């Protein structure tokens, strides 16, 4: 990739001259062995790193990315890789570290980025058969496989439906947000049949609904109503029933009930069966947001956590969370594939009504063939390893909860249904008594400072959230949030993280700012 040559090339635009061929060769024919070695080394060092965070002050990193000039002449590859080495890679989040327990991303199995190179080279566009060929069928097969894990219909059902061109068992989306939006769209269509298009409509879920529902409700002109959760952070069906009745009394049509199978903040699971039965009895669409928890369906020993999901009208599952595939693998499933027909779109040049095009069903248009990642993961990991993986994650969560409960410095603030837990640090002066509102406010400020200091120190990481904890009343409290997803995290890592926090907290407690 000699940049000298490219200046010459750009003088000769015609494809019938040599220069056109030179451009093509430059773009498509370069020797990539050097780049490959560099990628290999950087990938390995990222995966090996035990650091969990960011050491450089973010302000200093930001300054490196101010220039808005597109280079006239191509940069030499070496120079570009140096730029990545100096300014980008050292300041990425260390999601692969076994001591980074903060968010819903984990290191992914090495075979997936390898396949990713092929997926990107093939560059198939699954909006349409003509641009994706067999990948359209792969996508439908993967959706069929996970539909079966979710709903468990018989073989005859899947044989008839999995490749039926008139409907679909589900669809891929860039993420859970677009999947949830699409579910709301289907629910609104269904409700409109009875209520008419102009009716006031509401969506009801717990106060822990993902913010994608707020986005969707806002876009679609639906009211979003939130009902309380119990002390385990699970929706109260009685409160849901009251809210449905309130809607009826106000002349508001309830378009959908949302049940959560793994809340983002606590990993708690709503009573799925009760909520689904309530929806069925009243002919209201029930959507289960299992973006986080859906993967547990692949764990025979643990799928009971999701009991009742098979009654939902639609279900969202994110492959890129618990199935450990790269980002960009949201999925939506329809219990009754006929429902997919209510959200069909087509265009004269692209997706056609009588085709096999999956683009007829998706809110998105052009999409990459991310289904291949889920296909590969299901085949190369298999249910028994997923089972071991989920069991180990739950065990890790229990171990962490036990350690938190055993340490006087911490208060466990949620009992985990899945592999997420929350807790907070209690400054020494406040231990042993029940904190009042002013104390809790102070403890919250302390935990925000603690989480920031831990992130900046960079040896371990948890995230934080801001939510009420029932035994402390209705005021939101700052909570530390651990997501136990990384298969490499050991008990030692967990202890390291907790002790790291205690150490940082003691320093904070001794600082003058704490005593102001």
List binders of its own copies among 458-487 (CB under 8 A): 461, 463-467, 476, 481, 487
Q: Kindly determine how many residues on this chain lie close enough to bind its own copies according to the rule CB under 8 A.
A: 175
Q: Does 335 bind its own copies (CB under 8 A)?
A: no
| Window contacting its own copies (CB under 8 A); options: 206-214, 245-253, 271-279, 507-515 | 206-214
SS3 per-residue string spanning 294-320: HHHHHCCCCHHHHCCHHHCCEEEEEHH
Site for its own copies, residues 397 to 456, rule: CB under 8 A: 399, 455
* Minimum distance, C-beta of residue 322 to its own copies, in the bound complex (Å): 13
For the chain, the residue count is 516
Write the DSSP symbol of residue 149. Answer: H
**CA atoms in the 13 A half-sphere facing the CB of 354:** 0
> Of 222 and 244, which has the nearer Cβ to its own copies?
222
> Of 120 and 280, which has the nearer Cβ to its own copies?
120
Backbone angles phi, psi at 15, to 5 degrees: -70, -15
Q: Does 167 bind its own copies (CB under 8 A)?
A: no
Site for its own copies, residues 139 to 158, rule: CB under 8 A: 140-141, 144-149, 155, 158
Q: Which of 82, 238, 346, 436 binds its own copies (CB under 8 A)?
A: 346
Q: Which of 273, 391, 495, 514 binds its own copies (CB under 8 A)?
A: 391
> Of 167 and 490, which has the nearer Cβ to its own copies?
490
Q: Does 303 bind its own copies (CB under 8 A)?
A: no
Q: Does 365 bind its own copies (CB under 8 A)?
A: yes
* Minimum distance, C-beta of residue 409 to its own copies, in the bound complex (Å): 23
Residue closest to 141 by CA, chosen among 126, 122, 125, 119: 126
> Of 18 and 507, which has the nearer Cβ to its own copies?
18
Six token digits for residue 492: 């030692």
> Of 63 and 474, which has the nearer Cβ to its own copies?
63
> Which residues, including other chains, have CB under 8 Å from residue 509's CB and lie 6 or more apart?
427, 428, 429
Please list, residue by residue across 103-122, b when 16 or more beta carbons sit within 10 angstroms of its beta carbon and e when fewer do. Answer: bbbbbbbeebeebbeebeee
Q: For the residues of 86-123, what is the DSSP string, one character each?
A: IIIGGGS--TT-TTB-SSS-----THHHHHHHHHHHH-
Apex 473 CA angle, 467 and 258, nearest 5: 50
* Minimum distance, C-beta of residue 476 to its own copies, in the bound complex (Å): 7
Measured distance CA(445)–CA(469) in Å, rounded: 16
Say which residue the tokens 């969560």 belong to.
Answer: 397
Q: Does 491 bind its own copies (CB under 8 A)?
A: yes
* Minimum distance, C-beta of residue 221 to its own copies, in the bound complex (Å): 5
> Of 286 and 369, which has the nearer Cβ to its own copies?
369
Q: Does 57 bind its own copies (CB under 8 A)?
A: no
Site for its own copies, residues 32 to 51, rule: CB under 8 A: 32, 35-36, 39, 42-43, 46-47
> Of 435 and 487, which has the nearer Cβ to its own copies?
487
> Which residues, including other chains, have CB under 8 Å from residue 500's CB and lie 6 or more apart?
99, 454, 457, 459, 460
Site for its own copies, residues 103 to 142, rule: CB under 8 A: 103-118, 120-125, 128-135, 137-138, 140-141
> Of 18 and 338, which has the nearer Cβ to its own copies?
18
Measured distance CA(250)–CA(182) in Å, rounded: 26
* Minimum distance, C-beta of residue 446 to its own copies, in the bound complex (Å): 18
3-state secondary structure of 510: helix
Q: Does 249 bind its own copies (CB under 8 A)?
A: no
């Amino acid at each position: 990739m000699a940049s000298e040559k490219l200046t010459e090339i750009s003088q000769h635009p015609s494809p019938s001259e040599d220069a056109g061929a030179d451009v093509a060769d430059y773009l498509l024919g370069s020797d990539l062995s050097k780049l490959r070695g560099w990628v290999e080394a950087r990938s390995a060092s990222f995966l090996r790193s035990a650091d969990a965070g960011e050491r450089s002050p973010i302000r200093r990193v930001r300054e490196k990315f101010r220039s808005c000039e597109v280079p006239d002449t191509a940069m030499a590859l070496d120079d570009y890789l140096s730029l990545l080495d100096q300014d980008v890679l050292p300041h990425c989040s260390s999601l692969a570290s076994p001591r980074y327990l903060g968010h819903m991303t984990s290191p992914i199995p090495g075979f997936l980025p390898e396949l990713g190179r092929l997926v990107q080279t093939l560059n198939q566009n699954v909006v349409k058969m003509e641009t994706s060929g067999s990948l359209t069928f792969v996508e439908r097969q993967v959706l069929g496989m996970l539909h079966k894990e979710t709903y468990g219909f018989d073989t005859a059902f899947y044989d008839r439906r999995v490749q039926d061109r008139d409907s679909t068992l589900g669809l891929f989306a860039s993420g859970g947000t677009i999947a949830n939006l699409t579910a709301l769209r289907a629910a609104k269509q269904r409700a409109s049949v009875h209520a008419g298009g102009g009716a006031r409509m509401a969506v009801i879920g717990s106060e822990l609904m993902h913010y994608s529902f707020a986005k969707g409700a806002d876009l679609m002109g639906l009211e979003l109503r939130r009902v309380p959760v119990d002390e385990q952070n699970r929706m109260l069906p009685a409160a849901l029933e009251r809210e449905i009745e309130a809607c009826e009394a106000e002349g508001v049509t309830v378009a959908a009930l949302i049940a959560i199978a793994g809340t983002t903040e606590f990993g708690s699971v709503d009573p799925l069966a009760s909520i689904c039965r309530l929806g069925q009895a009243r002919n209201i669409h029930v959507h289960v947001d299992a973006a986080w928890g859906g993967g547990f369906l692949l764990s025979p020993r643990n799928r009971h956590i999701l009991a009742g999901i098979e009654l939902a009208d639609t279900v969202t599952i994110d492959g890129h969370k618990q199935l450990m595939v790269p980002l960009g693998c949201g999925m939506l499933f329809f219990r009754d594939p006929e429902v997919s027909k209510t959200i069909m779109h087509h265009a004269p040049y692209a997706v056609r009504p009588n085709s096999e095009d999956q683009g007829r069903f998706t809110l998105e248009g052009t999409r990459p063939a991310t289904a291949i990642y889920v296909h590969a993961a299901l085949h190369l990991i298999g249910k028994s390893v997923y089972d071991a993986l989920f069991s180990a994650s739950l065990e890790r969560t229990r171990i962490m909860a036990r350690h938190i409960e055993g340490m006087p410095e911490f208060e466990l603030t949620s009992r985990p249904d899945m592999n997420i837990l929350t807790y907070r640090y209690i400054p020494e002066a406040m231990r042993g008594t029940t904190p009042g509102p002013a104390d809790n406010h102070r403890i919250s400020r302390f935990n925000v400072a603690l989480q920031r200091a831990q992130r900046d120190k960079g040896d371990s990481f948890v995230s934080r959230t801001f939510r009420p904890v029932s035994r402390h009343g209705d005021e939101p409290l700052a909570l530390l949030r651990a997501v136990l997803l990384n298969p490499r995290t050991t008990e030692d890592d967990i202890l390291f993280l907790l002790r790291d926090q205690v150490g940082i907290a003691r320093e904070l407690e001794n600082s003058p700012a704490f005593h102001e």
